[in-house]
Amino acid sequence: MKKTLTIGRVAELAGVNVETVRYYQRRGLLQEPKKPSAGYRQYGPETVDRLRFIKRAQALGFTLEESSELLRFEKACACAETRTLAAHKLELIDEKVRALSAMRNVLGDLIQRCDVEESKDGCPIIQALSRDAAA
């Protein structure tokens, strides 16, 4: 007989909240087992694996919609499509890294300007931000 788990145990093993399991069910990422006339719904161990898959995909920046696509690709053995989605995600991450790097450089310059300039007219950072807002 196949080992079954309650929703609470599934959530615990996957490291998520019970409400997360229910939310993923509403979103169609997880199947909701039929409720027996007496007792609790019973989940198979594959539900824990699927939850862990979704959480790992999210940790890599995939949205729930993209995670759903990945799960469809898995069933269809669509490695090329999976690779395309992952490559696109990598491009987006690279863009974010470039944007964050530019923001870091600007903030570093502003902090350095504040350290170097002793302004009687106010904070150089506030002044720079005010000028940029008006431009």
Across the range 101-109, mean pLDDT stands at 95
pLDDT tens digit sequence for 45-84: 999 999 999 999 999 999 999 999 999 998 888 999 999 9
Is the pLDDT at 134 greater than 60? The verdict is no
Q: How far apart are CA 115 and CA 110, in angstroms?
A: 9
Rounded to an integer, the average pLDDT of 86-106 is 96
**How many beta carbons lie within 10 A of that of residue 70, not counting itself?**
18
Helices (H) and strands (E) in the chain, counts: 6, 0
pLDDT digits (tens, 9 = 90+) for 8-26: 999 999 999 999 999 999 9
Q: Is the pLDDT of residue 100 over 60?
A: yes
Work out the average pLDDT over 118-133: 77
Tokens of 109: 């310059």
- Structure confidence at residue 1 (pLDDT): 46
CB neighbour class for 89 (10 Å; exposed up to 12, middle 13-18, buried from 19): middle
pLDDT of residue 55: 97
